[in-house]
Amino acid sequence: MFAKSSKINEFRLWGLVLTLAGMGLMILGTAGIVFWGQAGKIFAGIFMVIGMITMLGSVAIYFWAGMLSTSAVILTCPECGRQTKMLGKTDRCMFCKTMITLDPDKATHMPSEIDETSEQPQP
């Protein structure tokens, strides 16, 4: 995985990127009026429309991330102890980025193994 964060945070990140890109395109289009005068109005109109479509895409991604967030499994992270949301079979903690899973086949440490080792007295 390139960026190590939870899946919900990845969706939110892409929504933010599209928001900033849309605003940047609209500002760039407005700059066309300033620098090119009358001919820049067509340039500004085109970039305003493209920027608005990009902003609507970000709204759709934020809405999708919100809908996924409402149906996500809430569990406690074994590392930091905070409640986090998990999508799919494996995900990362939203706070400490630890890999978490509910699938015993994909887990690296079984809870029963951890309990057995902690019950044995230390020499």
Quick one: average pLDDT of 91-114?
73
pLDDT at res. 1: 45
34-82 pLDDT, tens digit each:
888 788 888 899 999 999 999 999 999 999 998 988 888 888 888 888 8
Whether the full predicted model's pTM is greater than 0.75, yes or no, is no
In what helix (H) or strand (E) does residue 118 lie, and over which residues does it extend?
Answer: helix 111-119
For residue 117, the tally of other CB atoms under 10 A from its CB is 9
Judge whether residue 94 has pLDDT over 70: yes
- Position with higher pLDDT, 110 vs 37: 37
Residues 84/93, Cβ–Cβ less than 8 Å: yes
Task: Identify the band that residue 5 occupies on the pLDDT scale cut at 50, 70 and 90.
Answer: confident
pLDDT at res. 35: 85
pLDDT at res. 110: 56
Residues 46/26, Cβ–Cβ less than 8 Å: no
pLDDT at res. 3: 55
Integer Cα distance of 41 and 108 in angstroms: 60
pLDDT at res. 79: 83
Integer Cα distance of 119 and 36 in angstroms: 76
Residues of the chain above pLDDT 90, percent: 28
